[in-house]
Amino acid sequence: METFLSAFQADLGSVSSQIEFLQARSMSLSTKATNRKELEAHLGPIVDDIVLSPALIHRISEGEINDAWVKALIEFDSKFTPLHELEKRGIKAVGDVKPQFELLRTRALIRIRDFLVDRIRSLRVPNSNIQVIQQTTMLRYRALFHFMLEHHSQLANEIKQAYMNTMRWYYSHHFDRFRRTLEKVRLESRVEMIGNDEARRGGLFSMSRGTLPMNDPFHLGDRVEILKEGNEYVAMQAKDLVEKQVFAQLESN
């Protein structure tokens, strides 16, 4: 019994030491978990600011330029301001990711430049609907130009100048065509005035009565004689009415 109790006491001491070890281990893990949470609270926003998802990188680099592409570009643009602030604070991780940010920004600027240049060229296509192009492209994707203006002002000014030159050519060209058309209409309409016989007699653009087309809506033809006959008929009716009234008055007297 004494031997058994001695062995039990030794085992109990071993279990007690193991429990103390587990308690110390638990406290250590709890402290590490608390410290990790505090560290994540501080590092989480920093990591979010300097990390770009693969989907975002692929969309900006290779994706079609549409509304989803514009949203990705806005998200990418929103990370530049925090990146500069972290760089000023001396965060070493910024130095590792900044070259990747610069490469993706250059890729985005190249794609925006090609997109806008292609749309500006479409304004010079004959019979193009300039209002539709402006509303569905220029205004709809104006965030692209704002991004270019913020990150590469020289390229943005060149695109703006190209657009201004194109619009100047467009309005100048079409107003010149409109002016020439109005001048042509004015010259051809000199002989199309009702009763204007002077335009039909002599002059460079004169036309004789016999050369007027039969379907000319301003050609009076024999209709003036009908008007004259109508006036004589009305005068005869008025004369007969007056004579009847005079005879009726004489008979009554």
Q: What pLDDT is stored for residue 184 in this prediction? A: 78
Is 77 among the domain residues? yes
Nearest to 170 by CA among 131, 227, 216, 222: 131
% residues pLDDT > 90 (the chain)? 22
Q: What is the mean pLDDT of residues 185-196?
A: 51
Say which residue, 47 or 204, is predicted with more confidence.
47
- Enter the tokens of residue 242: 């007056």
Is 215 among the domain residues? no
Is 194 among the domain residues? no
Among 84-98, 157-171, 223-237, whose mean pLDDT is lowest?
223-237
> pLDDT at residue 212 above 60?
no
Q: Is residue 21 within 8 Å of 37, Cβ to Cβ? A: no
Roughly what angle, to the nearest 10 degrees, separates helices 67-77 and 142-151? Answer: 30
Is 116 among the domain residues? yes
Measured between alpha carbons, how far is residue 115 from residues 111, 138, 142, 228 in Å?
Answer: 6, 10, 12, 72
Is 225 among the domain residues? no
Q: What pLDDT is stored for residue 68 in this prediction? A: 92
Q: Which residues of 25-60 are buried (b: 16+ CB within 10 A; e: fewer)?
A: eeeeeeeeeeeeeeeeeeeeebeebbeeeeebbebb
Candidate ranges 50-59, 84-93, 183-192; pick with highest mean pLDDT: 50-59
User: Is the overall model pTM greater than 0.85, yes or no?
Assistant: no
> pLDDT at residue 197 above 90?
no
Q: How confident is the model at residue 71 (pLDDT cuts 50, 70, 90)?
A: very high
Nearest to 193 by CA among 159, 216, 160: 216
Domain of residue 151 covers 51-188
Q: How many residues does the chain have?
A: 253
Q: 236-252: per-residue pLDDT in tens?
A: 666 666 566 655 655 55
User: What's the mean pLDDT when you consider all of the chain?
Assistant: 76
Is 72 among the domain residues? yes
Q: Is residue 80 within 8 Å of 102, Cβ to Cβ? A: no
Is 18 among the domain residues? no
Q: Is 144 exposed, middle or buried (0-12, 13-18, 19+ CB in 10 A)?
A: buried
% residues pLDDT > 70 (the chain)? 65
- Phi first, then psi, for residue 176 (nearest 5°) are -65, -40
Q: What pLDDT is stored for residue 24 in this prediction? A: 84
Domains: count for the chain: 1
Is 71 among the domain residues? yes
